[in-house]
Amino acid sequence: MSQTKKILMMMKRADNWRYRDNHMNRLLLMIFLLLPALSMSVVAGEDADADAMEKLFRLAAGAGETATVLEYLQSKKVDVNTANLFGKTALMMAVENGHFATIVALLNRGSDVNARTKDGGTALTFAAENGHSGVTAMLLEKGAHLHDRNNAGLDSLMLAAQYDLAQIVDQLLFKGADVKASDKAGRTALMIAAEKGHAEAAAMIVKAGADLESRDREGATSLIIAAASDKQDVVEMLLEIGANIDAQDNDGITALMEAVYNGSSSMTGLLLANGANVGIKCREGNSALDIAHKKNAAKLIELLER
């Protein structure tokens, strides 16, 4: 079996790699320990077809092997925008791993900054979710579409909010990211940050003009979502800037009811201290106190009856 075929067997799984994976990173490094000796023979066409070279080219980009990437491109035997089965290009692989020099080389040689994977991901969404602020800034300067979304409806701002990447959230907001955009579940970047408990990112998004009372498809506001996830820092921040403490979702559930459902005495106490209405009832006819009684939660009952 030729050296090239051995390498192709090793990288079969790597070419299907879609997200960050430490095991796969190690596999890539193993592959590229062998690439220097193979690259010239592959470029010359020794026991390799176009598909094999394209695979090695993408892997070189993902590992930040800029010299190897340039070697393939100069051979004119690979397309700079070649993509794997999932639609991931060499640029996306370089972006995902933050290889700045390789990204510059690819962009300077015509890599499509707005190419999309089958899941709708772009180089910018990969940069945003992986925390590469310098790369994010460069992609935006090179014309990356700020408002593109993946198939789940998530744009780069939502992804940065999800992963608590405040610096990238700040960059994207400065460039005009839409704080009112929502994903397929109707959740905005603020709701996503609230659910994850990312108070700094949430505060930035609020300052940029996010609607505190916007609702997802279940009718939940950012406050209700934060309370349901027991994220007290976010709840405190939202209350401080005027979020409606007694907002109800489509089932009539309030933030206080969510806190009681979760059995969280600290969240229940925080909401009560800020004036939450104990008497509101959900569609099933239960108040927060009724829920506490059904759960036999003595501590919560004591808090609610004060």
Per the structure, the count of domains in the chain is 3
Q: Give yes or no: residues 221 and 300 share one domain.
A: no
Q: What is the percent of the chain with per-residue pLDDT over 90, rounded to a whole number?
A: 80
Same domain, 42 and 136: no
Last residue of some domain: 218, 244, 270? 244
Contact 125, 155 (CB under 8 A): yes
C-beta of residue 95 within 8 angstroms of C-beta of residue 121: no
92: alpha, beta or left? (left if phi > 0; alpha if psi -120 to 50):
alpha
Give yes or no: residues 207 and 278 share one domain.
no
Closest CA to 93 of 153, 24, 152: 24
Domain that holds residue 250: 246-306
Chosen domain end from 62, 86, 107: 107
One domain for residues 238 and 120: yes
Q: Are residues 258 and 301 in the same domain?
A: yes
**37 with 82, same domain?**
yes
Q: Are residues 266 and 208 in the same domain?
A: no
Shared domain for 129 and 189, answered yes or no, is yes
Residue 285, domain CATH? 1.25.40.20
One domain, residues 235 and 275:
no
- The confidence band for 2, taking pLDDT boundaries of 50, 70 and 90, is very low
Same domain for 66 and 34 = yes
- 127-166, pLDDT tens digit by residue? 999 989 999 999 999 999 999 999 999 999 999 999 999 9
What's the confidence (pLDDT) of residue 20? 44
CB atoms within 10 A of CB 151: 12
Among 107, 135, 166, give the residue marking a domain's end: 107
Q: Can you give the pLDDT at residue 61?
A: 95
Give the rounded percent of residues in the chain with a pLDDT score beyond 70. Answer: 84
Do 239 and 255 belong together in one domain? no
Per residue in 260-297, pLDDT tens?
A: 999 999 999 999 999 999 999 999 999 999 999 999 99
**Are the CB atoms for 260 and 300 separated by under 8 Å?**
yes
Residues 43/36, Cβ–Cβ less than 8 Å = no
Q: Which residues contact 148 (CB under 8 A, 6 or more apart)?
A: 114, 116, 120, 122, 124, 125, 155, 156
Asked if 140 and 176 count as a contact pair (C-beta separation under 8 A), the reply is no
Residues 1 and 84 in one domain: yes
- CATH number at 83 reads 1.25.40
- Taking only the tens place, the pLDDT of each residue in 83-118 is 999 999 999 999 999 999 999 999 999 999 999 999
At 51 the pLDDT is 83
